[in-house]
Every structure is written in structure tokens, then in C-alpha cells.
Amino acid sequence: MNINEQLESFLAELGVEMEQPEDRLYNGDSVPEISIFQASRDHYGVFYRLDIIDCKPELRIMVPVDKGDTKMDIYLVQLSEHMPLNTCFAEMSVYEGSAAYEHGREAALQHLLYASAEMMKQLFWSGDLQSLNFPPEIVVYPLLINDRRRSRYLR
């Protein structure tokens, strides 16, 4: 079972039915180059999914809430297009290095993803979830908000 199937299975157990790709305004069908799941060390019940998709880091934050059927809100956090790290990931993806570099490429990308995600987490938690007001270095898209309204990508 791949990482997308694992997430779909996890959410299905919570009563969440995944939208079909044609239902979404955001193209979430791109296959991640790297995916990592983490439990938060600082926020009880919060889980993170870190991905490199289309040569950019993405962070999905699953936040427990006391409302709705799923008892969970999910947010997608991306770096603002003005952040220089976006170009770093793109340049790393096309760089063809030595055999030694290529041997360690995936580990290097994982470490870079971890570092980027730590920055995105800090920026996300310094924002305001109620008003969806966040620092300009990140863009936050509510994927699932449990207040009887369905969130969509607003691109």
C-alpha cells in the first residue's frame, strides 16, 4: 500500500471519503518524490505529512478538533513563491552529481524537507487558524474544515 492509499485508508476509518481528482480545483494527483509522516512533538494529537511534490515542499497538518464527523481539520501549507527554498528544491531535482552524491541524494532531500517543514510548521503555528491569517512566507489552504462547510482550494 503506497502513502496515498495509507492516508485514504486512515481517513476512511474516521468516516472521511476522499474527493475524486475531478472534484478538486487543486491537482493533488502528482506523485510525491518523497513522503514522510510525523506526529507532532509540540501539539497533542497533531500529525504532519511532509512531501516533495513537483519539486516543492508541501506540509499537510492534521489538527484534532471537537466538532464534525471526522474530529479533524486538515491544512496544506506551501512556501510562498517568493521564498528562495522553492528554487533550491527545483535545482536539486535536476542536478546530476557524482556517483557518491547520487547515492545519498534521497537522504539529502529528506533532510532538506525536514528543515523546510520545521520552518513551515513554525510559521503555521504563529498564524491565526480562525481567520486563516498567516505570515507571508507561507500559503495555507484548508483541505478539510469540520464546521459543516466543505473547503476547496481557492486558487
Tell me: the pLDDT tens digits for 108-125? 889 999 999 999 999 999
Separate counts of helices (H) and strands (E) for the chain: 3, 5
Cα 87 to Cα 47: distance, rounded to the nearest angstrom: 27
Tell me: the pLDDT tens digits for 10-50? 777 777 766 654 444 445 667 778 888 999 999 999 999 99
DSSP annotation of 140 reads E
Q: 86, 89, 79, 65: which is closest to 141 by C-alpha? A: 79
Strands 47-53 and 138-144: unpaired
DSSP annotation of 21 reads G
The pLDDT of residue 151 is above 50: no
Type of residue found at 37: F
pTM: 0.74
For residue 83, the tally of other CB atoms under 10 A from its CB is 19
The pLDDT of residue 60 is above 80: yes
User: Contact, 21 vs 27, CB < 8 A?
Assistant: yes
Cα 30 to Cα 116: distance, rounded to the nearest angstrom: 20
pLDDT of residue 139: 96
Residues in the chain: 155
